[in-house]
Amino acid sequence: MADEVLPDWLIRSAENAPEREALVYGELRLTFGELRRRAERMARRMATAGITVGTRVALLAHNSADYALIVHALPRLGAILIPLNTRLTAEELRWQLTDVRATVLIGDAAHSETITALGRALPPLRLLSLDDGHDEASMPSIATLPEADVTLRTEIDLAATQAIIYTSGTTGQPKGALITYGMHWWNAVGSALNMRLRDDDCWLACLPFYHIGGLSILLRSAIYSMRIVVLPPPFDASAINAAIVAERVSIISVVTVMLQRMLTALDACAATYPPLLRCVLLGGGPAPLPLLQDCARRNIPVTQTYGLTESCSQATTLAPGEALQRLGSAGRPLAAVRLRIARAGGGEAAAHETGEIQLAGPTITPGYDGRPEATARAFHDGWFATGDLGYRDAAGYLYVLDRRVDLIVSGGENVYPAEIEAALLSHPAVAEVGVCGVADAQWGQAPVAFARLHAGATATEDDLLVFARERLARYKVPKAVYFVSELPCTASGKLLRRELPGLLPPASPE
Amino acid sequence: MADEVLPDWLIRSAENAPEREALVYGELRLTFGELRRRAERMARRMATAGITVGTRVALLAHNSADYALIVHALPRLGAILIPLNTRLTAEELRWQLTDVRATVLIGDAAHSETITALGRALPPLRLLSLDDGHDEASMPSIATLPEADVTLRTEIDLAATQAIIYTSGTTGQPKGALITYGMHWWNAVGSALNMRLRDDDCWLACLPFYHIGGLSILLRSAIYSMRIVVLPPPFDASAINAAIVAERVSIISVVTVMLQRMLTALDACAATYPPLLRCVLLGGGPAPLPLLQDCARRNIPVTQTYGLTESCSQATTLAPGEALQRLGSAGRPLAAVRLRIARAGGGEAAAHETGEIQLAGPTITPGYDGRPEATARAFHDGWFATGDLGYRDAAGYLYVLDRRVDLIVSGGENVYPAEIEAALLSHPAVAEVGVCGVADAQWGQAPVAFARLHAGATATEDDLLVFARERLARYKVPKAVYFVSELPCTASGKLLRRELPGLLPPASPE
């Protein structure tokens, strides 16, 4: 079974079902036959731009049909996708592009300024535009490139890297998780075995494609020969609700804040979802119980899932129909996933005993790009240590108590306190800083910072927030900075982040 | 991905859906939870009988719930199943048991005489009965054995051998094809991607479990958490039709002769199938076009498939719904299967050009047990050479023209001329013999023999038929023996089997 090679998924779908609708994006409707043809043209144009086996192609763009074409074109060339989070600052992107050794950066018109700036900062980087009308000299539009007469690949090596997606650990240092084709394949198969696969299934993709939860929908579409509906940002709950009805959507992946807004929009027009919508896959952090209960009352088939970038999205998922009996559970592992709850002192936890969630199996990343030490640290005897806490009930259903202690999940985005602390520490007035999450009505959680200034130094909250905004994506900027004379530390001087919430003013204006 | 290990399929289904119905057999209805518990008790009793890792356990029995329990118990012990064809003679079985080095033979009451005889012929063979009331000394009932306190396996190694199933080649020498767990896994996944997987699916198993087409249903049931209905022989078209309605069957695997009888029985009571029956998977040889057209007229969703023991059942299959547009085609390869049509002179055939059907991928056998030369001969550059002839149309749909030139498919059973010839040649009067298939109204094809006697020897047709019946399973016994003075041969003296039909009397009574 080593190095299993499969026929290219999109080619298979195009051959099996050439006339079946594959992708809906606004007015554009592509059949699998047309999606394949366009992806092949895209691949030939990319080949003209020098993209070939092993080229690391960064992509900074909103969800669109073109995004899907690039995702489907890259395997035909054996090139690797680096999907960039559109919410990062130019400085964060520059660091990531350098770290991953990307040689090509493709972007859409919405990000042309950032891309031009990145091109200036990283001169060897080749820039390409998904749209027309830009500076054709420094950033030619892909559409204008001739199609190279190259032999496109027709098979997929499951061991090969499809993408590298950056994610941070408790250290705050982002690192690129290797996502192989095999991880997508086994995840798609496990998901189909769990939620079944109907001929009339249609998956709505409103999660960004730069996150694994969105990207995996594109691959799944090709593996299943399944129609997907792509909605571009900004997130528009009413547009999503309308698309669910109009496009006969059966499955949608969302995070809590999205679902809450969708329900609000639904109430505004006293509407309900059609029964064809058979699975609302809810991921991106623990879901509030009142939301799940509300959905249960409305007969909305919410299916909680737990997953990470490193597990290629879903690792455990409830089966549709279990949502009501297992309210609050993230379900059981997908078919090829093995799950254990590790005791801090070693050994496996008993039922209902809390410990660290660890995962193994072919949907788990082989490691972090170019970081053998981080990879070694992440695995314990072949098990991937998620850092997240949870327990299993007697029937083996997972309950996630908390994402890794230090992780703040804000509107579905992972926010790493250490990364924010590092940014604030670079301010000359700051001697010491600690960041933790606080409950936020809109985003679930939001970061706040506690700073101790150097003796004699001065800085206002605004000074530090402005400083943070220049260095951090907006969703990472603390919603408040509290000045303190001392931070809670261990005897050895290590910051005790979990004690930070105790420092919050008791009558916080929130 | 090498040596991928998955959680045991039945355990997963029992944990995911303990109360879901797993198996229906007559009055017996087992949930996945109960099926798992019974399989575990069966495994512990088998352990008491000395069955352990690597033990080769032959099973001579009709389809039953107990058959399923043994199939599910063996992986828990790491033992290997040798499913024996119940239609073979004692002599054929003795040869196979010796060749495969089976140390345990389990049988049901219907085969107790044969089993006792085999036990006498092969004294080291340990006999076990699935039923009670036999000679408890020489053939104890499994049910009476105590349950051993052994640790049962909870994982499945995809590279491990699940079964060894005997199949003959053009040489007539049967050989044991290795069937791995991975072959079942990838086949089940490919089948689900092709025909989709519904929560209310139920597969009716009326093909014998000693054939790959029947056996694979048992494994698929555990992989999918899908209900199956098991019907014991004899084949009863009315009982099958009744079960399809009563048990809400959605998928059934059949061969041509079964389907023909089912239609006749349907007509006898002017009935139709309910729309829940969404796939009649028709395999076991080329289907007659009139039958397909008849089914199309009746709106019966027949889906042709092409497969072999060595491809773990389906290799190519039409998608449900394609049957009418692609009448006569066996469809396209399943997701993980690669197919090519090889020119006799080398290279790949063009569309509509006939050649040998060759297969590759993880559903293809790694080879024949203990026969490295036969294994080497069967593979060309990693492609398994089926010996069957066919072509692909421009859209890649496979049309099987003929099973391997020498193969006779009679009532869904493969009959190998060389095997019959070898049996007849051992008759002292026979100098030379050739066997070919002729059309048969009931069985599709049936074998006939052409014999040249030694100078001075005499034998009647009856003499040879009686001789054949003692040595060959009933379905292999020629329906006629013609005496000839000369057989068609190549210049080098090799029998030209394809010229044998020309020797048939022009006004054959058939």
pLDDT in tens, A103-123: 999 999 999 999 999 999 998
Q: Note the pLDDT of residue B123.
A: 87
Sign of CA dihedral B250, B251, B257, B258: negative
- Strand runs (DSSP E) across A376-429, as ranges? 379-380, 383-392, 398-402, 408-410, 413-415
Measured between CB atoms, does B20 come within 8 Å of chain A? no
Measured between CB atoms, does A16 come within 8 Å of chain B? yes
Chain B residues inside the 8 Å CB shell of A12? 335
Measured between CB atoms, does A12 come within 8 Å of chain B? yes
Task: Give the Cα separation of A313 and B359 in Å (integer).
Answer: 33
DSSP SS3 for A358: strand
Q: Model confidence over A128-172: pLDDT tens digits? A: 999 886 677 778 999 999 999 999 999 999 999 999 999 875 456
Q: Note the pLDDT of residue A403.
A: 63
Residue A54 has pLDDT above 70, yes or no: yes
The CA-atom distances, in angstroms, between B494 and each of B405, B408, B501 are 15, 19, 16
Q: Are A340 and A358 in contact (CB under 8 A)?
A: yes
A vs B: CB pairs below 8 A: 80
**Interface contact B362-A1, CB threshold 8 A:** yes
Please name the residues between 143 and 172 in chain B that touch chain A, using a CB distance below 8 Å.
Answer: 158-159
Measured between CB atoms, does A182 come within 8 Å of chain B? yes
Nearest to A450 by CA among A433, A437, A466: A433
Q: Which of A15, A319, A395 sits opposite B396 (nearest CB)?
A: A15
Q: Note the pLDDT of residue B139.
A: 87
**Interface contact A193-B193, CB threshold 8 A:** no
Q: What are phi and psi of A230, to 5 degrees?
A: -105, 125
Chain A residues inside the 8 Å CB shell of B338? 7
**Interface contact B15-A332, CB threshold 8 A:** yes
pLDDT (tens place) for every residue of chain B, 510 residues total = 346 899 999 999 999 999 999 999 999 999 999 999 999 999 999 999 999 999 999 999 999 999 999 999 999 999 999 999 998 999 999 999 999 999 999 999 999 999 999 999 998 899 999 988 667 777 899 999 999 999 999 999 999 999 999 987 545 678 999 999 999 999 999 999 999 999 999 999 999 999 999 999 999 999 999 999 999 888 899 999 999 999 999 999 999 889 999 999 999 988 899 999 999 999 877 777 888 889 989 999 999 999 999 999 999 999 877 877 788 899 999 999 999 999 877 899 999 998 899 999 999 999 999 999 999 999 999 999 998 888 999 999 999 886 666 788 888 888 888 788 888 988 999 988 899 999 888 888 899 999 999 889 999 999 999 999 998 999 999 999 999 998 887 665 667 787 888 888 875 444
CA A136 from centroid of its chain's CA atoms: 32
> How far away is chain B from the Cα of A62, in angstroms, using its nearest Cα?
30
The most confident of the ranges A289-293, A498-502, B295-299 is B295-299
Q: What is the pTM of this model?
A: 0.87
Q: Which of A1, A3, A17 sits opposite B159 (nearest CB)?
A: A1
Tokens standing for residue B324:
């009418």
Give the chain A residue whose CA is nearest to the CA of B316.
A16
Disruptive mutation site among B193, B318, B363 for chain A (greatest number of A CBs within 10 Å): B193
Distant-in-sequence, close-in-space partners of A454: CB < 8 Å, separation ≥ 6: A428, A429, A430, A431
Residue A3 has pLDDT above 70, yes or no: no
Residue A499 is classified by DSSP as G
Of A2-6, A277-281, B65-69, B331-335, the range with the lowest mean pLDDT is A2-6
Measured between CB atoms, does A382 come within 8 Å of chain B? no
Q: Which of B4, B192, B362 sits opposite A362 (nearest CB)?
A: B4
**Interface contact A224-B3, CB threshold 8 A:** no
Measured between CB atoms, does A7 come within 8 Å of chain B? yes
Q: Which of B4, B15, B395 sits opposite A396 (nearest CB)?
A: B15
Q: Model confidence over A332-352: pLDDT tens digits? A: 999 999 999 998 778 999 999
What percent of chain A has a predicted confidence (pLDDT) above 90? 71
Q: Note the pLDDT of residue B90.
A: 92
Q: Are B230 and B65 in contact (CB under 8 A)?
A: yes
User: Higher-confidence residue: A448 or A413?
Assistant: A448
**Interface contact A7-B199, CB threshold 8 A:** no
Q: Note the pLDDT of residue B134.
A: 64
**Interface contact B1-A225, CB threshold 8 A:** no
Tokens standing for residue B496:
């030209």
**Interface contact B15-A362, CB threshold 8 A:** no
Radius of gyration (C-alpha) of chain A in whole angstroms: 23
Tokens standing for residue B169:
């080649």
Disruptive mutation site among A3, A4, A19, A157 for chain B (greatest number of B CBs within 10 Å): A4
Q: Note the pLDDT of residue B204.
A: 98
Please name the residues between 185 and 214 in chain A that touch chain B, using a CB distance below 8 Å.
Answer: 189, 192-194, 196-199
Q: Note the pLDDT of residue B425.
A: 85
Q: Note the pLDDT of residue A463.
A: 94
Q: Model confidence over A393-419: pLDDT tens digits? A: 999 999 988 666 678 888 888 888 878
Give the chain A residue whose CA is nearest to the CA of B155.
A338
Amino acid at A426: S
Strand partners, A227: A202
Q: Which of A7, A197, A332 sits opposite B196 (nearest CB)?
A: A197
The CA-atom distances, in angstroms, between B369 and each of B117, B180, B181, B430, B469 are 25, 12, 15, 32, 28
Q: Note the pLDDT of residue A1.
A: 38
Q: Which segments of B392-485 does DSSP mark as H helices, in order?
A: 417-425, 461-471
Q: Are B353 and B359 in contact (CB under 8 A)?
A: no
Nearest to B382 by CA among B349, B355, B359, B398: B359
List the strands of the sheet with A80-83, edge to edge.
Answer: A126-129, A104-107, A56-60, A80-83, A161-168, A174-180
Tokens standing for residue A86:
């559109």
Chain B residues inside the 8 Å CB shell of A320? 199
Measured between CB atoms, does A344 come within 8 Å of chain B? no
Residue A195 — very low, low, confident or very high, per pLDDT cuts 50/70/90? very high
Distant-in-sequence, close-in-space partners of B225: CB < 8 Å, separation ≥ 6: A193, B12, B13, B16, B17, B20, B22, B32
Q: What is the mean pLDDT of residues A223-246?
A: 95
Tell the burial category of A426 from Cβ atoms under 10 Å away from its Cβ (0-12, 13-18, 19+). Answer: exposed
Distant-in-sequence, close-in-space partners of A359: CB < 8 Å, separation ≥ 6: A311, A315, A333, A337, A338, A339, A383, A384, A386
Give the chain A residue whose CA is nearest to the CA of B332.
A16
Tokens standing for residue B335:
């997701």
Domains in chain B and their CATH numbers? 408-503 (3.30.300.30)
Q: What is the mean pLDDT of residues A179-195?
A: 97
Tokens 């022009």 correspond to B506
**Interface contact B396-A2, CB threshold 8 A:** no
Chain A residues inside the 8 Å CB shell of B18? 395
Task: Give the Cα separation of B137 and B131 in Å (integer).
Answer: 14
